[in-house]
Amino acid sequence: MTRKKKLEDNETPLLEWICGGAGALLFFVIVGFTLFNGMTMKGPAAFRYQTTGMEAVADGTRQIAFLVENIGEKPVTDLRVRVTLMNGDQDGQQRDINVETVAAKSTVKATAVFTDPAAAEVKFETLSYREP
């Protein structure tokens, strides 16, 4: 290393080394992680639904909150979900819900509003989605 270069190195504040090093580490981790996901995540999207709450509201409706989880490896947009209230084996009221985006391995919250206060079981059905 020449004397000039040594001088230049000496002029670099410690904080610059720390921030530059941390930034470099984050940069390469994110690029590497993104590349790895780009090359390995090739499976289709798949969905799991979980009811998180059923609440009777003062206006006479019943709101059923649920989680949509994309357990697949591809993100989707415009996901359409049909939520059906079950009266025993019989299908009751149905609501079609549109979910804008669900990233891979991620969840989104949604709520369906029904006017039938009796049924206790809920069925979820994936109708369609778009690949972004």
Does position 1 interact with other proteins (CB under 8 A)? The reply is no
Task: Candidates 63, 101, 111, 126: give the one binding other proteins (CB under 8 A).
Answer: 101
Q: How far is the CB of 122 from other proteins (least distance, A)?
A: 21
Does position 115 interact with other proteins (CB under 8 A)? The reply is no
Residue identified by tokens 């580490």 is: 25
Applying CB under 8 A, which part among 4-12, 48-56, 57-65, 84-92 lies near other proteins? 4-12
Does position 6 interact with other proteins (CB under 8 A)? The reply is no
Let me know: does 86 contact 40? Beta carbons within 8 Å: no
Does position 100 interact with other proteins (CB under 8 A)? The reply is yes
Task: Candidates 43, 53, 117, 132: give the one binding other proteins (CB under 8 A).
Answer: 132
Cβ-based neighbours of 52, under 8 Å, separated by 6 or more: 65, 66, 67, 109
Does position 8 interact with other proteins (CB under 8 A)? The reply is yes
Burial bucket for residue 25 (CB in 10 Å: 0-12, 13-18, 19+): exposed
Does position 127 interact with other proteins (CB under 8 A)? The reply is no
CA–CA separation, 67 and 50 (whole Å)? 5
Q: How far is the CB of 95 from other proteins (least distance, A)?
A: 23
Strand 62-70's sheet: what is its strand order? 47-56, 62-70, 107-114
Q: Residue 100: what residue type?
A: E
Let me know: does 51 contact 66? Beta carbons within 8 Å: yes
Applying CB under 8 A, the residues found at the interface with other proteins are 5, 8-17, 19-24, 26-27, 30-31, 33-35, 37-39, 41, 75, 77, 100-101, 103-107, 132
